[in-house]
Amino acid sequence: MTEIKSERPVLSGEDVVILAIESSCDETAAAVVKNGRTVLSSVISSQIATHTVYGGVVPEIASREHIKAINYVIRRALAEADMRLSDLTASSFGGSGRGKSPGLRSGKAFGGGPSH
């Protein structure tokens, strides 16, 4: 499931810069990508240590961990790409395959409108 929200119109010849957020399971990640091909930054926060004691991922705990990590991950991805929110063309959120619903909701909450 991937959803893209355009932040502003793109002018002809202008670079398209997207903030991509992934929060489908036990990792919170953000990347800044230019023109769909150039990864300017990629930051991942893992929850492996948190879930190891349970023998697997607990969706409700994962969701809370996403909320704790998402601001840091986004700010770090933007800093590593030397970008500000106002430099973005769009933001997107999602994951590959079947995600854990609470985690996806966490990503959607931020990916659906980080500039607001």
Domain ranges of the chain: 2-111
Phi, psi of 77 (to 5 degrees): -60, -40
Task: Out of 3.40.630.10, 3.30.420.40, 3.40.50.720, 3.30.70.330, select the CATH number for domain 2-111.
Answer: 3.30.420.40
Residue with tokens 């398209």, as numbered in its chain: 16
pLDDT in tens, 16-64: 999 998 887 888 999 999 999 999 999 999 998 889 999 998 888 888 8
Residue 100 DSSP one-character state: P
Please tell me the distance from the alpha carbon of residue 115 to that of residue 90, in angstroms, as a whole number. Answer: 10
Please tell me the distance from the alpha carbon of residue 50 to that of residue 26, in angstroms, as a whole number. Answer: 9
Residue 114 has pLDDT above 50, yes or no: no
- Which amino acid is present at 6? S
- For the entire predicted model, the pTM comes to 0.74
